[in-house]
Structure formats: C-alpha cells, structure tokens
Amino acid sequence: MLHPEELSPVGFGCYRITNTPAHRQALAHAVKEGCNLFDTASTYTQGNAEKMAGELAQAFPQKKLFIISKAGYITPDLFKNNTRFKKKLLLADPLYAAGTPHSIHPDFLRLQLKRSLLRLNRRCLDAFLIHNPEKCYLPSVTTDEKNSSLRQAFAFLEEMVHKGKIRYYGISSNTLPLPEADNPLPPFAQLWRIATETSPDPAFRLLQFPFNFGETAAAISHGKSSLLQQAREQHIITLSNRPLNIYRHDGLIRLGAEFNDTSDTAADEKKVMQLLEAIHRQLQLLGITEDFPVVAAVKEYWNKLSDPQAVAALFTHQFFVFIRQLFGGRIPATVTQLMQEVFDSSNRHTRYNMAQRSRQFIADLIAQGRINATDLYPIAATACRHYLNTGIDHVLLGMRSVQYVDQVKTLFHRPIHANR
C-alpha cells in the first residue's frame, strides 16, 4: 500500500469518467506514466467511475494505486429498492429529515462505504471523504448540531479504520476555504478539534477543496493562518479540485478551452425565431395567451449561456419539456428538427464564449505576472505547477484523454514541497 508521501503531485479526478474506450485509455495511460492517485465518489457517473477505478487497479496489479472515494449525496436510486432504509434514515438523521438531500449520518455512510467497496472490488479503501457536508446544514441548523453530526461521522470513520475498511478519512468541501462568516461548515480548527476528541491519533488526514487562479481563499489568511498553513501544521494532505474551472459573475472560465466558431449567427438566430414562431402558433391553436418565462429565456439567452451545463439546464430540462407538454407528445418533425438545431447552435455559441473568456483570462494572468508569457507548457501544466508551488499538496485533474494526460505527465513525478 502507498504511503501518502508517495502520491503523485497530480492525480486523476474521475468526476466525469464513463465506460468509454477514450476514458479507459486515458486512465491506463496515466498509470503507465506514473500517476498513482485517483479520486472518485459514489455519485460520480452513477457509480461507474468507482467501477472503472476498481477495474483499473485490477488491470495493473503490479502498480500501487491510492484510491479516494466520497459519500454524502443522496441519489434517487439509493432508495429505489430500499424504502425501509429510507424510513430508518429519516428517523435517525434529523438533518436529512429536515429536507436536505444529503447525509453524513453513520448509517448512511456505512451503506455508501459498503457499496463503494463492492464497486471498487476492494476490501479496504485508501481514503474515504465526507462529501460536501455543508449541504447538510440548512440555515436553521445550530453550531452544536453541526458539531454533533460531524462527531458522529468521525467516530464512525475511526471505527472503519480500526476494522480495516478504510486507511484514512477526511472532508471534501466546496466552502471549507471561505471565511468563517460566509461558511456553513465549521472552520478547520473546529474540525480538527472534533477529530482529536474522537481519537488521540485520528486518521483524519485529507482535505479536498476548490483551488485555482480564481479561488485562492485557502492560501489567504483570514485574520489567522491560512487553511493551507493550518493543514500543514497538522500534517493534513491538501488536494485541489476543479483546478481549471473558474466560476465568475460573467460565466464559467475553463482554462485551455478552445473552440473556433464558424457558424452563421444570423442563420442560427433565424432558426431560434422559427422555433419560437412554431410554439406561438401552437399556443394560438390551443387558445393560450399566457406568456411563459422559459420561452422568453430562450429568446434572450440562447447564445449567452455560461457553459454546457447551463445549456442543458435551459433546453433539456425546461424548454424541451415545455414543448413536449405543449404538443401533447406529438411534436411535428419540423419542430423536432428545429429543437435539435437550436440546441446545437446554443452549444456552439456557449463553447465559443467560454474559449474567448479563457483566452482573455490567460492574457490577464500574464499581465498580472502570475504566469509567464514565454512558458511553453500547456496551460493545464502551468496551472498545476503554480498551485503546487503555492502550497497545495496535490492537484486533481479530469484527464479524460491520452493527449490530456501527456500535457501534465511530467508532474506525476515532480517532487512537491516538504510540508508534512
């Protein structure tokens, strides 16, 4: 088994890994090039990411791989054939009973750990993280209730360590680096206090959170030592997720995004108007005069959406549902074709806008002196080197192609700073 000091500085993030030849080749290529750190979760691609990580370890028995998984999100399939467990959890976990689709209760974690070990085909998991526990805490939850829920979870995880089910545990949180006043999660000092109260030598050894050029809170001292400094003092391993995805008011910036749009904007807009006219005619035919916000949203924002997820949210989950209901499931072929063409047009414009934002953001980084204009490395490698030099122990990248792996493979072996 790998010691935490032996982990590759850049690890493979399995958030969007699916059972495809390209993804399988990327995983295998990463192992061959020296990557030994793989991060997944029970909810990543409905458990398929865990299965693939497990199959990867079996395919390379001579390689030592360190696999992290996570639990906390309650997915609809969990209770599909297990309504008894749902009732049990509702009674046992007051936070879940309050309405959050999330749980860190020992009963829930036990079930998820069992499922993860089965999918990974492992008797023992290297690390098991509580996944975004802040989502458990509605505004009405008190500090004492938060501490109590975490104390229960940590005690269960220490029990799993002693039983040989996991080696280490920790927390993956999107809000952990934020100032205490803005954070639903207790600060790291309190998390560590709970861990040491649970065990004199806790196996609490990992923290995962967003860290990138736009989200640097973990390196900032908010009136005390930064999160990175506090973690270093307690020999906690820090991992950066979403290192290339930066969320801003003007939309998602995906560093390195490239897309040259060759479409005709006027022609695309004409298709949008044709689709909206077909909807208007159907509304008139049904005698409906009401204005629908989703129709207005498509007219206004079809070419201004921030990222592909926003396109799917507007079109797939709202607009197209509305159209199917409007036509009673009997959509004319011409309308079906326009739906697909408008969806494709929106995706193209979105990807083009993302690429433009990425280019401008990189230019700003160069102007600010944060990266070197003469750097010949791909931006993914440049970003990872920067984060590692800032003090992050490991960077998790979703390297879903062999080419992507090749861009950063030199960092699989790069010695990191001696901080533990």
Which H/E stretch holds residue 120? helix 106-120
What is the chain's mean pLDDT, rounded? 92
CATH superfamily of 4-256+378-412: NADP-dependent oxidoreductase domain (3.20.20.100)
Rounded Cα distance, 298 and 317, in Å: 12
Residue count (the chain): 420
What is the DSSP secondary-structure string of 7-49?
Answer: S-SEEEE-TT--SSHHHHHHHHHHHHTT--EEE--TTGGGGHH
Of residues 101 and 243, the one with the higher pLDDT is 243
Helices (H) and strands (E) in the chain, counts: 15, 10
Q: How confident is the model at residue 262 (pLDDT cuts 50, 70, 90)?
A: low
Mean pLDDT for 217-242 is 93
Q: Which of 109, 115, 188 is nearest to 155 (CA)?
A: 109
**pLDDT over 50 at 419, yes or no:** no
Contact 254, 354 (CB under 8 A): yes
Residues forming beta bridges with residue 394, ordered by sequence position: 239
Q: pLDDT band for 260, please (50, 70, 90 cuts).
A: confident
pLDDT in tens, 105-152: 999 999 999 999 999 999 999 999 999 999 999 888 999 999 999 999
Nearest to 104 by CA among 81, 80, 128, 126: 128
Q: What is the pLDDT of residue 321?
A: 96
Residue pair 68/39 in contact (Cβ under 8 Å)? The answer is yes
Span 51-57, mean pLDDT?
95
Is residue 244 within 8 A of residue 256, CB to CB? The reply is yes
Q: What is the mean pLDDT of residues 337-360?
A: 93
**DSSP code of residue 406:** H
pLDDT at residue 414, rounded to an integer? 64
Dist. CA 371–CA 391, nearest whole Å? 16
CA distances to 311, 355, 388, 397 from 370, in Å: 32, 20, 14, 20
Q: Which two tokens stand for residue 196?
A: 């040491």
Give the H or E element holding residue 337: helix 333-367
- pLDDT score at 418: 40
Q: What is the mean pLDDT of residues 318-337?
A: 95
Give the tokens for residue 143.
Answer: 């500090």
Q: Which secondary structure element, helix H or strand E, spans residue 238, and what is its range?
A: strand 237-241
Q: What is the mean pLDDT of residues 242-263?
A: 82
pLDDT score recorded for residue 415: 61
> Which residue spans of the chain are classified as CATH 3.20.20.100?
4-256+378-412
The verdict on pTM exceeding 0.85 is: yes
**Amino acid of residue 180:** E
CA distance 129 to 205: 10
**Average pLDDT of the residues in 196-217:** 96
Contact between 46 and 77 (Cβ < 8 Å): yes
Structure tokens at 13: 């993030």
Q: Rounded to the nearest 10 degrees, how much is the dihedral formed by the CA atoms of 356, 361, 367, 371?
A: -120
Closest CA to 274 of 319, 341, 228: 341
Q: What is the mean pLDDT of residues 315-341?
A: 95
Is there a contact between 240 and 385 (Cβ–Cβ < 8 Å)? no
Contact 244, 212 (CB under 8 A): yes
The neighbour count for residue 151, using CB atoms within 10 Å, is 15
Give yes or no for residue 371 having a pLDDT over 50: yes
DSSP state, 416?
A: P
